[in-house]
A and B are shown apart, each in its own frame.
Chain A
Amino acid sequence: MKTRSPFLALVNLELARSSTIYGNPLAWFLAVAVLACSLMPALLLWLQPANPLFLLVHESWASMMMAWWLTLLIMECSNTLLRGVWGFLSPLWVPPAANSDEFLSTRAIDRALHFRAKTAMLGVFIVLPVLLNFALVCLGARQFPPGVASFVEATPASQSEAEPLAVATAFGGTMIWAGAAAIVLMQGYYGLVSRWSAGAGRLRGVLLACGPVVLGLAGFVFFRFSFDAEHDRLAPVVRFIVRHWFALTVALVALAVVVQRFCERRFAEQEVL
């Protein structure tokens, strides 16, 4: 009867429990959209290298998708983490009847293992498309259109030669990486504040809101900086990220592991219900 390891059993369980994510058309649409967005810059630049309007529309749409996706992920992280490993009040809404936290929390299940299984499930099915998106945009930016490649490989002295389109594409990659990093940082933040949020309704609300508010402010400042500044102020950052995309992805995964272990320790101190 016991054919599976506890970890695989928990991953399987979380897949079943998270049917709101996998059974939700909006979530599927967003996941597919994020992946599709990854492929489109390269494709568009390959087919329409001289059509700035087409690319601009695509970039706007891709940014909007990313914003939605990140919002959902952050809400997911915050709800899960603030309520502890067992909490699953999803932004996609789980009816109370579907909440079997108490049952799970009183079985002989290692809490850390359960949380790790849940994170693995989230990571593979939700964060992975974001990282794929990042990798594909960066590869596209470096390889396909000559204008983008010249921008990515440009030195500060020659950066004035960079084309606006190239900057837009590389900027897309930067945004995606920053978005993935934001998810990991949000997880760390909610793990950090989870101790103080337990059982305190108003404080929980404030702590819950602080993460997205700070992230929103950071995003606003970033966008202001991007739109107001000349390209040569933003270009070095964007270029650095696109040029070192692989190392940055590895760094992000390493950060995610550290944050995960930190959160596991925090949850061991928390009440389940």
Chain B
Amino acid sequence: MSEFIIETRNLSRAFNGTQAVRDFNLRVRRGSIYGFLGRNGAGKTTAIKLLVGLLRVDAGEVRVLGKDPWDFTVEDRQRVGYLSEKQTLMPGMRVDALIEFTSTFYPNWDGTMCERVLQRFKLDPKKRIKELSGGQQRQVGFLLALAQRPDLLILDEPAASLDAVARREFLEEVLALLREEGKTVLFSSHILSDVERIADEIGIMAGGTLKLSEPLDRLKETVKQVRFHSFASGTDGFTVPDAFRLAKTPTEALVTLRLTDETTLPKLAAQHRCQFEVCHLGLEDIFIELVRES
């Protein structure tokens, strides 16, 4: 069994000549919570749809649970839970009828958990879907994906329309799922505080490609913003190889870069005859620095 539950290699997909995803290389470890970030239009939803077999790849290779999702059997689908970005449930159905319908297709359906989450989210099972608010419908969608006991849970913007309390409850449910051995969660979000709270690995997408994918701790440890100042002869000609972002004024330069070698900064400062100071970045700052130029 591979260490990775999701593996893609040079995945590409275009729509009417527009490349939505290109050379997309993603690896998600079993048992991890993977936070998938990117600006609007970065290609996250298309990538997720390729991962769940809703779309076919133009080029490249995708393996989810060791198989191409396009060839998923019913048994494979029972192992993948999915909540889409704009998921619409059957509006005329009652919540309990929808739960009963969905449970028909899952032999491992967890009715006890379903009840528990219903109560936790304070959802009335007798109400019709159309009578629920947008956030409550999202909670029902999440509940349906969770109660099937999937090995892999893929959530596209799960917390988008949830209030702060519901978001916290959602995060706790995700964490509860992860307590079971071998369960994996991949979720995309714009709410970086949520991602920072629960994700242990981060992928940042921009312009259809995965710009970065690594453990959150390592990311925060190595990606720094450095302010170079007090230049002896101005900032003209000041460059930093492999910097994520470089902004210059005549007197100082602001650089976002990955610091893997402690001697890099003193060397740069000596070379350009200037001083420097390092600023630590939170996930939101790192994200903005990485994708702003894209």
In the assembled complex, A102 has its CB within 8 A of some CB on chain B: yes
Say yes or no: A100 contacts B88, CB within 8 Å. Answer: yes
Given known A-B contacts A1-B109, A16-B92, A17-B90, A106 and B102 have beta carbons under 8 A apart: no
Q: Kindly identify which residue among B54, B101, B105, B111 contacts A108, using a CB–CB cutoff of 8 Å.
A: B105
Per DSSP, are chain B's interface residues mostly helix, strand or loop, or mixed? loop
Per DSSP, are chain A's interface residues mostly helix, strand or loop, or mixed? loop
Give per-residue flags for A99-137: 1 if the beta carbon is below 8 A from chain B beta carbons, else 0: 110110111111000000000000000000000000000
Q: Kindly identify which residue among B89, B100, B105 contacts A100, using a CB–CB cutoff of 8 Å.
A: B89
Q: How far is the CA of A273 from the CA of B86 in the complex (A)?
A: 13
Say yes or no: B92 contacts A273, CB within 8 Å. Answer: no
Q: How far is the CA of A273 from the CA of B49 in the complex (A)?
A: 10
In the assembled complex, B77 has its CB within 8 A of some CB on chain A: yes
Say yes or no: B90 contacts A106, CB within 8 Å. Answer: no
Q: Which of B101, B106, B141 has the most CB of A within 10 A?
A: B101
Look across to chain B and name the residue whose beta carbon is closest to the beta carbon of A5. Answer: B104
Q: Which residues on B sit within 8 Å (CB–CB) of A110?
A: 74
Say yes or no: A271 contacts B104, CB within 8 Å. Answer: no
Q: How far is the CA of A211 from the CA of B272 in the complex (A)?
A: 73
Say yes or no: B54 contacts A105, CB within 8 Å. Answer: yes
Q: Which residues on A sit within 8 Å (CB–CB) of B77?
A: 106-109
Q: Which residues on A sit within 8 Å (CB–CB) of B88?
A: 97-100, 102-103
Say yes or no: A271 contacts B56, CB within 8 Å. Answer: yes
Say yes or no: B92 contacts A1, CB within 8 Å. Answer: no
Q: Which residues on A sit within 8 Å (CB–CB) of B89?
A: 100, 103
Q: Which residues on B sit within 8 Å (CB–CB) of A2?
A: 103-104, 109
Say yes or no: B52 contacts A106, CB within 8 Å. Answer: yes
Say yes or no: B104 contacts A272, CB within 8 Å. Answer: no
Say yes or no: A106 contacts B111, CB within 8 Å. Answer: no
Say yes or no: B55 contacts A103, CB within 8 Å. Answer: no
Say yes or no: B54 contacts A102, CB within 8 Å. Answer: yes
Interface residues of A toward B: which range? 20 to 34
Q: Which of A12, A97, A100, A110 has the most CB of B within 10 A?
A: A100
Q: Which of A1-20 contact B (CB under 8 A)?
A: 1-2, 4-6, 9, 12-13, 16-17, 19
Given known A-B contacts A1-B100, A102-B54, A273-B54, A107 and B93 have beta carbons under 8 A apart: no
In the assembled complex, B10 has its CB within 8 A of some CB on chain A: no
Q: Kindly identify which residue among B80, B104, B148 contacts A9, using a CB–CB cutoff of 8 Å.
A: B104
In the assembled complex, B188 has its CB within 8 A of some CB on chain A: no
Q: Which residues on A sit within 8 Å (CB–CB) of B148?
A: 108
In the assembled complex, B36 has its CB within 8 A of some CB on chain A: no
Q: Kindly identify which residue among A5, A6, A16, A199 contacts B15, using a CB–CB cutoff of 8 Å.
A: A199
**In the complex, how many angstroms separate the beta carbon of A272 from the nearest chain B beta carbon?**
5
**In the complex, how many angstroms separate the beta carbon of A211 from the nearest chain B beta carbon?**
25
Q: Which of A1, A6, A99 has the most CB of B within 10 A?
A: A1
Q: How far is the CA of A271 from the CA of B69 in the complex (A)?
A: 12
Look across to chain B and name the residue whose beta carbon is closest to the beta carbon of A13. Answer: B101
Q: Which residues on A sit within 8 Å (CB–CB) of B109?
A: 1-2
Look across to chain A and name the residue whose beta carbon is closest to the beta carbon of B111. Answer: A1
In the assembled complex, B170 has its CB within 8 A of some CB on chain A: no
Say yes or no: A102 contacts B84, CB within 8 Å. Answer: yes
**In the complex, how many angstroms separate the beta carbon of B219 from the nearest chain A beta carbon?**
30
Q: Which residues on A sit within 8 Å (CB–CB) of B78?
A: 108
**In the complex, how many angstroms separate the beta carbon of A67 from the nearest chain B beta carbon?**
31
Given known A-B contacts A97-B88, A98-B91, A199-B15, A273 and B55 have beta carbons under 8 A apart: yes
In the assembled complex, B87 has its CB within 8 A of some CB on chain A: yes
Given known A-B contacts A108-B74, A272-B54, A102 and B86 have beta carbons under 8 A apart: yes
Which residues in A have some Cβ–Cβ distance to B below 8 Å? Answer: 1-2, 4-6, 9, 12-13, 16-17, 19, 97-100, 102-103, 105-110, 199, 271-273
27 CB < 8 A contacts A-B: A1-B103, A2-B109, A6-B104, A9-B105, A12-B101, A13-B101, A16-B90, A16-B93, A97-B88, A97-B91, A98-B88, A98-B90, A98-B91, A99-B88, A100-B87, A100-B89, A106-B52, A106-B54, A107-B77, A107-B105, A108-B74, A108-B77, A109-B105, A110-B74, A271-B54, A271-B55, A271-B56
Q: Which 10 A-B pairs have the closest CB atoms?
A: A108-B77, A108-B78, A106-B82, A9-B104, A108-B105, A100-B88, A100-B90, A108-B74, A102-B84, A110-B74
